[in-house]
């Protein structure tokens, strides 16, 4: 693995997980020393993160981790709505019935209510689902945009703790979407996606607004509105 890739993956994970909080200053030398690579691959890694929108230039000489507030989450879901509805529609008409039928079965028989371990299984399934969508959509431009949203979605997920009830409901929603795609029902696939995103957003926002006033729980790294 190249040094620039290691640096990128490490920083990406640290930003997504909140180890590097919004507003944290990213200095080339500081980070390259810390991660044990030279400035050249570090610059490449930082450049990629800037393109991703996870780091932004605050002034001519200072890079900071991008803020991520409630408004950003709402923007993100606006974008997801557009992209994932289109993706679901396209997947439904591309004829990958077997793949999505099998995925629907997997979602049907998943039991995320059975504790923490099952939550990992849930996210593994989601990954499989996303990969299947990407393959079925077969459109580099759309898939590129979808992947970008997932990069930011990881930050939103971290702010909202996994909720057992929500995981169960989301599993059922995905089963419906997968089934609709398998059956070639583009309208249902798109509308079920819309409904799913509605619930997912509501759940995330509820989780955050329940936390933020308290401050007593674990640190959220949620950027105050309007400074992202």
Partner DNA sequence: CAATGCGAATATGTATACATTTTAAAGCAA
Partner DNA sequence: TTGCTTTAAAATGTATACATATTCGCATTG
Report the distance separating Cα 211 and Cα 151, nearest Å.
23
Q: What does 28 interact with, of DNA, a second copy, none (CB < 5 to 8 A by kind)?
A: DNA
Q: What does 140 interact with, of DNA, a second copy, none (CB < 5 to 8 A by kind)?
A: a second copy
- Asked if 4 and 44 touch (Cβ cutoff 8 Å), the reply is yes
Q: Which residues bind DNA (CB under 7 A)?
A: 2-4, 27-29, 37-41, 43-44, 59-63
Report the distance separating Cα 98 and Cα 102, nearest Å.
6
- Residue 186 as a binder of a second copy (CB under 8 A): the answer is no
- Strand 55-59 with 25-26, pairing: unpaired
Report the distance separating Cα 113 and Cα 58, nearest Å.
43
- Residue 48 as a binder of a second copy (CB under 8 A): the answer is yes
* Per-residue interface string for the shown chain with a second copy, residues 67-86, x marking contact by CB under 8 A: -----x--xx-xx-xxx-xx
- The minimum distance between CB 12 and a second copy, in angstroms, equals 14
- The minimum distance between CB 56 and a second copy, in angstroms, equals 10
| Interface residue list for a second copy (CB under 8 A) | 40, 43-44, 47-48, 51, 53, 72, 75-76, 78-79, 81-83, 85-86, 90, 138-142, 144-145, 148-149, 152
């Amino acid at each position: 693995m190249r040094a620039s890739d290691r640096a990128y993956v490490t920083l990406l994970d640290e930003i997504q997980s909140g180890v590097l909080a919004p507003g944290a200053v990213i200095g080339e030398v500081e980070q390259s020393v810390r991660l044990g690579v030279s400035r050249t691959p570090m610059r490449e890694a930082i450049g990629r993160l800037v393109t991703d929108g996870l780091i932004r230039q605050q002034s001519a000489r200072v890079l900071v981790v991008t803020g991520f507030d409630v408004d950003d989450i709402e923007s993100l879901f606006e974008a997801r709505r557009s992209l994932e509805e289109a993706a679901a529609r396209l997947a439904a008409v591309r004829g990958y019935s077997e793949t999505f039928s099998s995925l629907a079965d997997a979602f049907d028989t998943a039991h995320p209510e059975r504790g923490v371990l099952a939550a990992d299984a849930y996210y593994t399934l989601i990954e499989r689902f996303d990969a299947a969508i990407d393959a079925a959509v077969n459109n580099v431009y759309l898939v590129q945009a979808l992947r970008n949203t997932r990069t930011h979605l990881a930050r939103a997920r971290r702010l909202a703790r996994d909720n057992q009830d929500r995981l169960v409901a989301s599993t059922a929603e995905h089963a419906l979407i997968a089934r609709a795609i398998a059956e070639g029902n583009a309208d249902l696939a798109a509308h079920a996606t819309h409904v799913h995103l509605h619930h997912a957003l509501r759940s995330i926002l509820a989780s955050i607004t329940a936390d933020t006033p308290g401050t007593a729980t674990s640190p959220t790294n949620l950027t105050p509105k309007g400074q992202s």
